[in-house]
């Protein structure tokens, strides 16, 4: 990363989008990680509120309206940085997307179409949960739906905690286990959505 402002020559500190000395928006760097763009250390165990606060403050400083009368190059830089900040917020605030991103940074596509779920325990868990959801819907059992939702929420919490442990030190050395956990979290994340839609459907009948 360039260590000085292209305009005034002052030393740049993270996040690198704006010069703290002269306020100039810096040339966009597509090679920087989402963590660096947001001015945060690379970690899975991320405080989402800190992320939001940091990104919103940066977005305010980089808002294209502030550069409406600037040179075309500065306007382009502000738009590029703002777009990348939006991507950082959308990716890093989500436990599943954050874990997937960290693994992708190590060249591991845990959720790619070519990846086959070979974990028989996970496959069996998927079958059991889906069968329970179907039975609850057939019986129009709202209390049962709520109980299932709470159970799945706890399962999500457990997987996220496992990922915090597996990704505590980066780069990750247990890529296979981390990839498996990411795939499990993806399934549970989808299941939470299905339960929410099913619950709403039962309530509206």
**Percent of the chain residues topping a pLDDT of 70:** 96
Kindly tell me if the per-residue pLDDT of 58 is higher than 90: yes
Kindly tell me if the per-residue pLDDT of 115 is higher than 80: no
For the stretch 144-192, pLDDT in tens is: 999 999 999 999 999 999 999 999 999 999 999 999 999 999 999 999 9
For the stretch 125-153, pLDDT in tens is: 999 999 999 999 999 999 999 999 999 99
Nearest to 155 by CA among 127, 187, 132: 187
Tell me the average pLDDT of the chain: 93
- Looking at residue 203, its pLDDT comes to 87
| Mean local confidence (pLDDT), 64-87 | 91
Cβ(98)–Cβ(82) under 8 Å?
Answer: no
How far apart CA 189 and CA 88 sit, in angstroms, is 20
- Looking at residue 2, its pLDDT comes to 57
Helix (H) or strand (E) segment spanning residue 191: helix 175-203
Q: How far apart are the first and last CA of the chain?
A: 57
Kindly tell me if the per-residue pLDDT of 86 is higher than 70: yes
């Amino acid at each position: 990363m360039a260590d000085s402002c292209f305009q005034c020559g002052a030393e740049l500190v993270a996040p690198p989008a704006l010069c703290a000395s002269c306020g100039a928006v810096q040339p966009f760097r597509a090679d920087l990680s989402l963590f660096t763009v947001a001015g945060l250390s690379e970690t899975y165990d991320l405080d989402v509120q800190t992320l939001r606060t940091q990104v919103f403050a940066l977005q305010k400083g980089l808002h294209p309206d502030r550069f409406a009368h600037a040179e075309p190059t500065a306007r382009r830089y502000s738009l590029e940085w703002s777009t990348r900040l939006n991507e950082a917020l959308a990716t890093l605030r989500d436990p599943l997307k954050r874990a997937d991103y960290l693994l992708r940074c190590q060249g591991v596509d845990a959720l790619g179409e070519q990846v086959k779920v070979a974990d028989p325990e996970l496959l069996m868990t998927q079958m059991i949960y889906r069968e329970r959801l179907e039975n609850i819907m057939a019986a129009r059992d709202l209390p049962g739906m709520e109980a299932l939702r709470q159970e799945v929420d706890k399962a999500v919490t457990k997987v996220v905690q496992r990922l915090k442990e597996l990704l505590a030190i980066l780069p990750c050395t247990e890529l296979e286990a981390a990839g498996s956990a990411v795939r499990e979290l993806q399934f549970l994340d989808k299941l939470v959505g299905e339960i929410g839609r099913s619950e709403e459907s039962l309530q509206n009948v």
